[in-house]
């Protein structure tokens, strides 16, 4: 027998009414029932409508939905309690919340009723279901009988491969009323016929067609202007549709996946490792764009690196209309005017064509990083992120932005750490000497380049081991102490405290990091023009500070970070000046600390929320010499740290004299570790067990040469002990304890 779709339409209000009556009538009795349990699926349903599909209920109900969601979840926990009184109270709260949620759902204008009680499934939609845009939801009351109420949830992605794209599958309970919500993603514009499939309510899934429509989109024409020139510039852009809380890719958002060799976070959607909301995905857009967007409320986010304020602006896109928007992020500081130019020492990105270079150039301009050390990466097996070449001829320069090829190689993970090099003229890589990092450092220096260690902030990959071999030999120029917004100074301070000079640097490590320049190193060029050579010269002098947010100035007399001050007398007073400041909107308060030999000797914090700036000026006697630096912590959790100024008295070392025993013991222990892994590798190699482990096989083969280098390092440390003995009689009482603030 054929049935028309509307034959049993009259039953819907009857069944609906019965269901409501059945639910509401015994409400008090349910609350008193010690065996009360929540309707199946209600927790997930409540969370979904509160969190993902609030638009169905309107803005004014969102707070109530959130509240009910919390109450239901707390009640669920209470119902599991062993305490009968708590259980009863939870049952009462839960019962009321269930009733309230059902009442909200029943009132929802988007609710559709699906009747499965007749011979054919039917839905009470009189026309297509209107969705707000390319995402939305179906809210259904699936009637399959008079049993207890159930809830269910589902998702459908209409961009799924053909054959699945229009299927919306939802579970329902047999013989019962089920409230169901199905999220829809990537819904095509205009009218789409969905295949609604209700599973579990009968022996066979109930299938029925359901049309949905999306409104005609509007358009957004967005231009981001430079605060100085007023001309369009690249920027990091975020487009967030308030209706579903999801971001969309701008039409010209650059997809970096292929240039990342499919390594790391191989996409152009870049959430920075910075405090919210910068940790949400932004796309690099090289210039103005024009794109279709679903109508409704949107949030535009614009970021242009740390020196600009972040813009978040709410807009409304109207169906069929174009919104022209021009935004001009305000620069809160121009470090170039102070003589400081930003760089990122650790950017992985393939550059094999002009197009590759243009895309990366757009990114560094969007984040306003003036010099990017674009590093080809290697391990003992292969290389990644290929470059066209190295040296000045292969620098990519656009106005005052420079991409300069460098390398991150050698890198050993379980052995002795990762190294970086800047300003090289050729890649230095020899896997037969892969563990002899000094050979690379020497070759880099011979090319006029700079050598350093990556990930020193975290101490990853046992980097302390090779640092113990090569830092005291003065083979190393810089170390990364800031990465992923993590300022890590333990290793840095240990080596400084031994009297070893090291320049503070920072690198984002994209594509593993969030975005270029999220941490950065500033080099002081003063009045010099900005060129790669001048930047590297300044960096080589140690005229740097690193930051993920606040800015720093630091002088000891006239000396900059990285400079050495020679003093003849321990009584000679030095004038210390430091200033830290941050973006008024986001970084208040800023705390500034002066660190000598790793201990805070002065600190101050900004007090005006509108002006997060603080200065410290004081005199400090030179005493026996020391290293002294400034660091800052902003209220949003971002950091900054300078390279120290080295105060040297009468040729004595600037080390932390009263802790030398512990410092030398730590280095000796690091060398012991290398000797141990060499011995283990050589034992396994002798037994023929390293044929598939090239790292340890090469360590075994190169072990003797590395042992010689360790022996040489031990000689240096022994010499330091004798220097300490000779200095002892000349030194004053140890200054480290005097005047230090309590940590």
| Sheet containing 613-621: order of strands | 551-556, 573-581, 613-621
**Is 264 a binder of other proteins (CB under 8 A)?**
yes
CB 561 to other proteins: min, Å = 23
- Which among 685, 572, 585 has a CA at the least distance from the CA of 621? 572
CB 511 within 8 A of CB 348: yes
Residue 558 makes CB contacts below 8 A (sequence gap 6+) with: none
**Is 70 a binder of other proteins (CB under 8 A)?**
yes
Q: Is the dihedral of CA 165, 321, 225, 553 positive or negative?
A: negative
CB 19 to other proteins: min, Å = 26
| Coil, helix or strand at residue 701 | helix
CA gap 371, 361 in Å, rounded: 10
Q: How many residues does the chain have?
A: 743
Residues of this chain, 532-591, that bind other proteins according to CB under 8 A: 586-589
**Is 636 a binder of other proteins (CB under 8 A)?**
yes
Number of C-beta neighbours around residue 553 at 10 A: 18
**Is 484 a binder of other proteins (CB under 8 A)?**
yes
Among 637, 676, 708, 726, binds other proteins (CB under 8 A): 637
Using the CB atoms, write b or e for 249-262: b if 16+ within 10 Å.
bbebbbebeebbbe
- # binding residues, other proteins (CB under 8 A): 61
CB 298 within 8 A of CB 250: no
**Is 380 a binder of other proteins (CB under 8 A)?**
yes
E-strand spans in 227-339?
Answer: 235-241, 246-248, 283-285, 289-293, 296-303, 311-317, 322-327
Among 134, 244, 344, 379, binds other proteins (CB under 8 A): 379
**Is 475 a binder of other proteins (CB under 8 A)?**
no
CB 149 to other proteins: min, Å = 20
**Is 437 a binder of other proteins (CB under 8 A)?**
no
**Is 261 a binder of other proteins (CB under 8 A)?**
yes
Residues of this chain, 156-215, that bind other proteins according to CB under 8 A: 156-157, 160, 169
| HEC assignment per residue over 416-482 | CEEEEEECCCCCCCCHHHCCCHHHHHHHHHHCCCEEEECCCCCCHHHHHHHHHHHCCCCCCCEEEEE
CB 323 within 8 A of CB 230: no
Among 89, 96, 266, 712, binds other proteins (CB under 8 A): 266
CB 508 to other proteins: min, Å = 12
**Is 155 a binder of other proteins (CB under 8 A)?**
yes
| Coil, helix or strand at residue 523 | strand
Bridge partners, residue 270, by sequence: 282
Distance of CA 531 to the CA centre of its chain: 30
Shorter beta-carbon distance to other proteins: residue 155 or 394: 155
CB 281 to other proteins: min, Å = 9
Residues of this chain, 668-697, that bind other proteins according to CB under 8 A: 692-695
CB 320 to other proteins: min, Å = 29
User: Around 544, how many Cα atoms within 13 Å sit in the side-chain half-sphere?
Assistant: 31
CB 366 to other proteins: min, Å = 20
**Is 279 a binder of other proteins (CB under 8 A)?**
yes
CA gap 256, 140 in Å, rounded: 41
Shorter beta-carbon distance to other proteins: residue 267 or 447: 267
Shorter beta-carbon distance to other proteins: residue 249 or 331: 249
Shorter beta-carbon distance to other proteins: residue 154 or 301: 154
**Is 152 a binder of other proteins (CB under 8 A)?**
no
**Is 345 a binder of other proteins (CB under 8 A)?**
no
Residues of this chain, 487-516, that bind other proteins according to CB under 8 A: 487-488, 509, 512
Using the CB atoms, write b or e for 601-630: b if 16+ within 10 Å.
bbeeebeeeeebbbebeeebbbbbbbbbbb
Shorter beta-carbon distance to other proteins: residue 226 or 485: 485
CB 735 to other proteins: min, Å = 26
CB 699 to other proteins: min, Å = 12
Shorter beta-carbon distance to other proteins: residue 20 or 740: 740
Shorter beta-carbon distance to other proteins: residue 418 or 667: 418
CA gap 493, 627 in Å, rounded: 10
CA gap 716, 270 in Å, rounded: 45
Judged by CB under 8 A, the stretch of 85-93, 294-302, 484-492, 539-547 that binds other proteins is 484-492
Angle of helix 84-107 relative to helix 42-51, nearest 10 degrees, comes to 50
CB 485 to other proteins: min, Å = 7
**Is 309 a binder of other proteins (CB under 8 A)?**
no
Q: In angstroms, how far is the first alpha carbon of the chain from the final one? A: 86
Q: Is the dihedral of CA 379, 369, 285, 513 positive or negative?
A: positive
Q: Given the DSSP bridges, would you call strands 401-408 and 311-317 parallel, antiparallel or unpaired?
A: unpaired
Residues of this chain, 27-56, that bind other proteins according to CB under 8 A: 44, 47-48, 50-51
* Tokens standing for residue 224: 């981001």
**Is 120 a binder of other proteins (CB under 8 A)?**
no
**Is 485 a binder of other proteins (CB under 8 A)?**
yes
**Is 635 a binder of other proteins (CB under 8 A)?**
yes
CB 548 to other proteins: min, Å = 11
Judged by CB under 8 A, the stretch of 265-273, 305-313, 721-729, 732-740 that binds other proteins is 265-273
Number of C-beta neighbours around residue 659 at 10 A: 17
Among 11, 263, 528, 658, binds other proteins (CB under 8 A): 263
Shorter beta-carbon distance to other proteins: residue 81 or 726: 81
Bridge partners, residue 433, by sequence: none
**Is 73 a binder of other proteins (CB under 8 A)?**
yes
Give the x/- contact pattern for other proteins in 387-416, rule: CB under 8 A: --------------------------x---
Give the x/- contact pattern for other proteins in 415-434, rule: CB under 8 A: ---x----------------
Among 267, 439, 531, 572, binds other proteins (CB under 8 A): 267
Sites of contact with other proteins (CB under 8 A)? 44, 47-48, 50-51, 69-70, 73-74, 76-77, 153-157, 160, 169, 261, 263-267, 269, 273, 275-276, 279, 377, 379-382, 384, 413, 418, 455, 458-461, 484-488, 509, 512, 586-589, 609, 635-637, 692-695
């Amino acid at each position: 027998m054929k049935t028309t779709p509307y034959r049993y339409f009259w039953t819907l209000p009857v069944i609906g009414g019965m269901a409501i009556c059945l639910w509401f009538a015994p409400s008090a009795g349910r609350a008193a029932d010690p065996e009360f349990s929540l309707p199946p699926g209600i927790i997930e349903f409540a969370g979904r409508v509160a969190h993902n599909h609030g638009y169905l209920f309107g803005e004014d109900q969102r707070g109530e939905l959130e509240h009910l969601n919390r109450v239901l979840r707390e009640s669920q926990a209470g119902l599991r309690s062993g305490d009968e009184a708590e259980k009863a109270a939870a049952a009462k709260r839960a019962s009321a919340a269930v009733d309230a949620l059902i009442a909200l759902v029943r009132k929802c204008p988007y609710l559709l009723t699906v009747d499965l009680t007749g011979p054919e499934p039917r839905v009470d939609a009189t026309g297509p279901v209107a969705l707000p845009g390319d995402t939305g939801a179906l809210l259904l009351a699936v009637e399959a009988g008079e049993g207890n109420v159930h809830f269910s949830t589902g998702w459908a992605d209409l961009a799924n491969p053909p054959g699945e794209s229009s299927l919306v599958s939802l579970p329902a309970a047999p013989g019962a009323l089920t409230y169901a919500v199905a999220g829809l993603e990537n819904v095509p514009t205009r009218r789409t016929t969905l295949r609604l499939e209700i599973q579990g309510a009968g022996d066979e899934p109930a299938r029925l067609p359901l049309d949905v429509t999306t409104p005609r989109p509007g358009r957004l024409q967005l231009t981001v202007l430079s605060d100085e020139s007023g001309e369009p510039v690249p920027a990091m852009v975020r487009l967030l549709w308030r209706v579903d809380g999801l971001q969309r890719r701008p039409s010209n958002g650059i997809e970096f996946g292929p240039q990342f060799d499919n390594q790391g976070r191989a996409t152009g959607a870049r959430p920075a490792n910075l405090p919210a909301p910068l940790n949400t995905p932004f796309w690099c857009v090289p210039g103005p764009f024009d794109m279709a967007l679903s109508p409704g409320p949107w949030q535009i986010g614009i970021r242009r690196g740390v020196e600009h304020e972040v813009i978040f602006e709410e807009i409304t896109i109207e169906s069929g209309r174009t919104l022209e928007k021009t935004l001009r992020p305000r620069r809160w500081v121009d470090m170039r005017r102070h003589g400081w130019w930003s760089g990122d020492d650790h950017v992985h990105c393939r550059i094999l064509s002009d197009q590759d270079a243009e895309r990366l150039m757009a990114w560094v301009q969007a984040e306003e990083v003036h010099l990017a050390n674009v590093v080809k990466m290697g391990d003992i097996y292969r290389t990644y992120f290929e470059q066209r070449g190295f040296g000045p001829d292969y620098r990519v320069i656009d106005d005052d932005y420079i991409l300069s090829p460098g390398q991150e190689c050698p890198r050993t993970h379980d052995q002795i750490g990762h190294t970086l090099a800047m300003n090289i003229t050729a890649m230095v890589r020899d896997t037969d000497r892969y563990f002899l990092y000094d050979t690379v450092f020497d070759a880099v220096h011979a090319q006029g380049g700079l050598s350093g260690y990556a990930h020193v902030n975290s101490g990853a990959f046992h980097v302390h081991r090779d640092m113990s071999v090569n830092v005291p030999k003065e083979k190393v120029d810089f170390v990364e102490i800031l990465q992923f917004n993590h300022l890590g100074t333990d290793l840095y301070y240990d080596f400084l405290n031994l009297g070893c000079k090291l320049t503070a640097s920072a690198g984002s490590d994209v594509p593993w990091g969030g975005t270029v320049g999220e941490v950065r190193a500033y080099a002081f060029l003063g009045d010099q023009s900005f060129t790669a050579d001048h930047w590297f010269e300044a960096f080589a002098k140690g005229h740097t500070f690193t930051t993920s947010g606040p800015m720093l100035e630091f002088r000891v007399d006239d000396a900059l970070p990285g400079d050495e001050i020679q003093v003849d007398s321990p009584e000679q007073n030095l004038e210390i000046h430091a200033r830290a400041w941050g973006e008024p909107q986001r970084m208040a308060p800023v705390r500034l600390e002066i660190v000598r030999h790793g201990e805070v000797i002065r600190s101050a914090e900004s007090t005006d929320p509108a002006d997060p700036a603080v200065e410290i000026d004081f005199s400090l006697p030179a005493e026996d010499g020391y290293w002294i630096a400034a660091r800052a912590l902003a209220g949003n959790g971002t950091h900054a740290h300078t390279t120290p100024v080295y105060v040297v008295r009468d040729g004595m070392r600037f080390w932390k004299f009263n802790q030398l025993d512990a410092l030398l013991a730590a280095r000796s222990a690091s060398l012991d570790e290398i000797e141990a892994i060499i011995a283990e590798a050589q034992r396994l190699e002798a037994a023929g067990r390293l044929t598939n482990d090239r790292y340890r096989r090469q360590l075994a083969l190169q072990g003797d040469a590395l042992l010689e280098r360790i022996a040489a390092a031990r000689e240096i440390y022994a010499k330091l002990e004798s220097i300490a003995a000779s200095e002892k009689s000349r030194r004053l009482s140890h200054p480290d304890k005097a005047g230090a603030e309590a940590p």
